Amino acid sequence: MAATATLYGGDVSDYSDKADWFKYKEKFDKKYNSDEESKRKKIFEENLLKIQDHNNKYQTGAVTYNMDINEFTDYTDDELSQIYYTGEDTKEEHLFSEDLEDVCSGGCIHSRSSRSRPDISTDRESINWREKNAVTSVKSQKKYKTCWAFVTAGILEGLVAIKHKKLQSLSTQQLIDCTAGYEELKGGYVIEGLRYAEEHGLLTDNDYPYKGPKSRCKSDAKTNKKRVFPVDYHIARNISVEKLKSLVREIGPVGVLLQVSKTAELFRYAGGLFAGSITELFYHAVLLVGYDTDSTGTNYWIIKNSWGTRWGENGYLRIQMDNKYGITRNVYYATAVEILPEE
């Protein structure tokens, strides 16, 4: 197994001296006051040792993924989980059962539309919607609990690309500013984002660009701009891995909730098949864009994250297809979109 590549082009063990702290600050544009810098440098050095220890195991084949230094390396596990993760997913059930039958389990699919659902029985060996030009560029949510907005936009972006042959980033900031239920300290919900988009439509990211903080909703002021409306969207709960594979294959990118740990293993991920521990459950919304099998015969999901391109595999994650992380518990997707006004 090859040695781990790092952001400085060498082995992680080389980066424990003082000069590397300055390299790190320059690379990721880190600026601190004197008291803060001492604290962050100490955390950075502690995390560096964790990365080095993990990558030593990776080189011996004891673990299936490697870690690297990135913009999160100067934060503690507690800080990262508080900034990026939400603590529960139960509100999704409440929101969706307000005007539908009670939420069920065991593989049911709830629909917001009276249309029949597509046939999703066909299974294939692999699919990667990135290779089919149906996934927009990786974005960074910055230090905000806005992963749900990027997933909502990603679901609709995929359908626009697949059905209308147009690859266009949609506005996550519009969702943040205008969607009911979003709170900056608690996060938001994919299903609320889809509900908002159904009623109001999503503008493009160019027309309503991402800033991060929640602000006054400015959607109504852009009356002459094109908007994307989901006209048929669903939530699938507790489905099988095979059914999820079929959804991705037949429909396109879908939203899922990862059950993640308070430990920062996912934040340090740099490549390979992720298989981190789960000690305390937190939730993080991501876009599932495909699946495949590696040379050892291990099946894995291909996931687009919203932590920028300097995290993971150019912003992507590969994760073992064993449902250890609750991927099949909450699946969000649409099967049709409209673009209005029509050209």
pLDDT for 88: 53
Q: What is the pLDDT of residue 116?
A: 40
Rounding to the nearest 10 degrees, give the CA dihedral for residues 152, 153, 158, 163. 100
User: Is there a catalytic annotation at residue 305?
Assistant: yes
Catalytic residue among 66, 110, 284, 330: 284
Distance CA 175, CA 149 (A): 6
What is the residue extent of each domain of the chain?
A: 83-97+126-144+158-164+233-341
Task: Judge residue 301's burial from the number of C-beta atoms within 10 Å of its C-beta, 0-12 exposed, 13-18 middle, 19 or more buried.
Answer: buried
Our answer to whether residue 164 is catalytic in this structure is: no
What are the CA-CA distances from residue 233 to residues 89, 98, 195, 196, 197 (Å)?
19, 16, 9, 12, 10
Residue 264 is predicted with a pLDDT of 87
**Residue carrying the six token digits 């050892």:** 296
Which amino acid does the sequence have at 210?
Answer: Y
Predicted model pTM = 0.88
Q: What is the pLDDT of residue 107?
A: 43
**What does the pLDDT read at residue 121?**
42
Q: What is the DSSP string of 295-316?
A: TTS-EEEEEE-SB-TTSTBTTE
Give residue 181's pLDDT.
86
Query: 83-97+126-144+158-164+233-341 belongs to which homologous superfamily?
Result: Cysteine proteinases (3.90.70.10)
Question: Mean pLDDT, the chain, as a whole number?
Answer: 86
Buried b (16+ CB within 10 A) or exposed e, 189-228: bbbbbbbbbbebbbbbbebbebeeebeebebeeeeeebbb
Kind and range of the H or E element at 58? helix 34-59
**Could you report the average pLDDT of every consecutive run of 10 residues in the chain (343 residues)?**
42 56 94 94 95 97 96 96 74 42 38 45 77 98 97 99 97 96 91 96 97 94 89 94 97 95 90 84 94 95 98 97 89 96 77
pLDDT at 185: 85
Predicted confidence at residue 111, as pLDDT, reads 53
CA–CA separation, 294 and 195 (whole Å): 37
What would the two tokens of residue 179 be? Answer: 């969607």
Q: What letter represents residue 144's amino acid? A: Y
Active site residue 224: no
Query: Any idea which residue has 């673990």 for tokens?
Result: 63
Q: Which residue has the tokens 């060498």?
A: 10
- If you ran DSSP here, which 8-state letter would residue 29 be given? T
Task: Write down the pLDDT at residue 343.
Answer: 64
d(CA 147, CA 285): 5
Phi then psi for 155, rounded to 5 degrees?
A: -60, -45
Backbone angles phi, psi at 225, to 5 degrees: -95, 150
Rounded CA gap, 160 and 223, in Å? 20
Q: Which of 147, 178, 234, 330 is catalytic?
A: 147
Place of tokens 């539309």: 113
Q: Which of 55, 66, 305, 330 is catalytic?
A: 305
Supply the pLDDT for residue 152.
Answer: 98
Q: Give the relative orientation of helices 147-164 and 190-200 as an angle to the nearest 10 degrees.
A: 50
Q: Report the largest interatomic distance among the alpha carbons of the chain, rounded to a whole angstrom.
A: 63
